Amino acid sequence: MTEDVFKALADPTRRRILDELAERDGQTLFEICSRLAIKHDLGLSRQAISQHLAVLESAGLVLSRREGRYKFHELNTRPLEHIVTRWLRPDTPEGTP
Amino acid sequence: MTEDVFKALADPTRRRILDELAERDGQTLFEICSRLAIKHDLGLSRQAISQHLAVLESAGLVLSRREGRYKFHELNTRPLEHIVTRWLRPDTPEGTP
DNA sequence: ACTATAGGCAAGTAGCGACTTGCGTATGGT
DNA sequence: ACCATACGCAAGTCGCTACTTGCCTATAGT
């Protein structure tokens, strides 16, 4: 559950992937690979990214649909919404000093 | 920075410690140890908890003040507030389907 | 049919991270 | 002065995890 969400967010490369999907949804594995290689200097193998995507997917942060030989990935922010409210006090809801 | 926050949140024991401090602020190391041992069944050594607290402290999630031979720890939720908004889309701000 | 593309599976390696163990330091009580 | 308490430091062990490498499957194009 939220257990996997925290573990998924622990890795900086996975967070970069989420950034990439937040910027442009529906990318394939190869697109994400080349984007990460170009925009950031991450020279990671295809399998590395694939495994990261698997972790993100089992955490529910990434949804994928397969079409032909392409697999498109999209970001799902639902699991992110309430993982932190667990510690946030009900007082000072937004900006009430 | 936020790098350390995610790493700090990755461990379930550290999240338990945050829970404990959220429930009662200003606990010492021994208090946290015995609380974790009793309420949850974590039979961890003192140093284990101490190292976890060090991680949480360097992430800015826990602040500590020393008084005599006691060191009191308190929760700081500031670093938690904006780590997730990075991926949350500006649409559907709270509950607007 | 053949080749290239997009991706998956599995085993192996290296390094980090959680935890322990042992010893050391400082404060407080008597 | 003595001892117990509350905590810190340092090294060592063990398991997990990120990453690679090699091979395999399936779809698309020609």
Q: Are strands A70-75 and B62-67 parallel, antiparallel or unpaired?
A: unpaired
Contact in structure between B4 and B58 (CB atoms under 8 Å): yes
CA gap B79, B4 in Å, rounded: 10
- Average confidence score pLDDT of chain A: 91
b or e along B37-58 (b: 16 or more beta carbons within 10 Å of the residue's beta carbon)? eeeeebeeeeeebeebbebbbe
Q: What is the DSSP letter of B10?
A: T
Residue with tokens 């500590």: B64
Q: Residue B17: how many CB atoms within 10 A of its CB?
A: 27
Q: Reply yes or no on whether the pLDDT at A96 is more than 60.
A: no
Q: Reply yes or no on whether the pLDDT at A63 is more than 70.
A: yes
Q: Residue A50: how many CB atoms within 10 A of its CB?
A: 15
Q: Tell which wins on pLDDT, A14 or B82.
A: A14
Query: Within window 11-70 on A, which residues have Cβ closer than 7 Å to strand D?
Result: 11, 13, 43-45, 47-48, 51-52, 55, 68-69
Q: Reply yes or no on whether the pLDDT at A94 is more than 60.
A: no
Task: Tell me whether residues A77 and B87 touch, CB distance under 8 A.
Answer: yes
Q: Reply yes or no on whether the pLDDT at A58 is more than 60.
A: yes
Residue with tokens 């998924």: A8
Task: Tell me whether residues A77 and B83 touch, CB distance under 8 A.
Answer: no
pLDDT value at residue B17: 97
- Which chain B residues have a beta carbon less than 8 Å from that of A2? none
pLDDT value at residue B91: 62
- Could you give the percent of chain A with pLDDT greater than 70? 92
Domain ranges of chain B: 2-81
Q: Tell which wins on pLDDT, A89 or B51.
A: B51
The tally of CA atoms less than 13 A away on the side-chain side of residue B11 is 15
CA gap A94, A97 in Å, rounded: 9
Q: Which of B2, B3, B9 to substitute to test the interface with A, most A CBs within 10 Å?
A: B9
Q: Tell which wins on pLDDT, B20 or A95.
A: B20
Contact in structure between B17 and B33 (CB atoms under 8 Å): no
pLDDT value at residue B69: 94
Given the candidates 1.10.10.10, 3.30.565.10, 3.30.1490.100, 3.40.640.10, the CATH classification of the domain at A2-81 is 1.10.10.10
For residue B31, the SS3 value is helix
pLDDT value at residue B94: 53
Taking Cα atoms as reference points, which of A61, A53, A59 lies closest to residue A35? A53
Residue B11: which H helix or E strand, with range? none
Q: Reply yes or no on whether the pLDDT at A97 is more than 90.
A: no
pLDDT value at residue B1: 81
Q: Residue B66: how many CB atoms within 10 A of its CB?
A: 8
pLDDT value at residue B89: 73
> A40: pLDDT confidence band, cut at 50, 70 and 90?
confident
pLDDT value at residue B84: 93
pLDDT value at residue A91: 62
CB contacts under 8 A, B 12-71 vs A, are 12, 15, 18-19, 22
Residues of chain B under the 50 pLDDT cut: 97
pLDDT value at residue A54: 98
